């Protein structure tokens, strides 16, 4: 296994991780933005107000996109295991 192959595996792992985390992060960020705007308008400065809506939004995203996220992860692992003989042979 040479340096280029290691870098390719690392890049693919980071890209897969970003694909899997993106829906969760974007939903939490959107809910946080809406709640912070609500807090700014109403001048309610309660730190715990953002927790429950974010948990609900993340839970909904996992329920709706969990199958896709698991599919992306499984596809990456399958491709990694399929390339394992080539990587171990050094070719």
Query: What's the pLDDT tens digit per position in 12-43?
Result: 999 999 999 999 999 999 999 999 999 889 98
Contacts of 3 (CB under 8 A, 6+ apart): none
pLDDT band for position 1 (50/70/90)?
confident
> What pLDDT is attached to residue 43?
87
- Show Cβ contacts of residue 28 under 8 Å, excluding neighbours closer than 6 positions: 54, 57, 58
The encoded tokens of residue 77 equal 């692992």
pLDDT confidence tier of residue 67, bands split at 50, 70 and 90: very high
Q: Which domain holds residue 34?
A: 3-89
Instruction: Look at the chain and report how many structural domains it folds into.
Output: 1
Residue whose entry in the numeric block shows the structure tokens 């709706």: 64
Report pTM. 0.80
- Determine which of 5-9, 71-75, 85-89 has the lowest per-residue pLDDT on average: 85-89
Percent of the chain topping pLDDT 90: 71
């Amino acid at each position: 296994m040479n340096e280029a192959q290691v870098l390719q595996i690392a890049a693919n792992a980071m890209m897969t991780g970003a694909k899997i985390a993106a829906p969760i992060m974007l939903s939490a960020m959107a809910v946080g933005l809406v709640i912070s705007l609500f807090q700014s308008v109403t001048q309610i400065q309660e730190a715990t107000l953002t927790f429950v809506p974010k948990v609900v939004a993340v839970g909904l995203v996992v329920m709706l996109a969990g199958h896709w996220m698991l599919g992306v992860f499984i596809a990456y692992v399958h491709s990694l295991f399929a390339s394992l003989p080539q990587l171990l042979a050094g070719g």
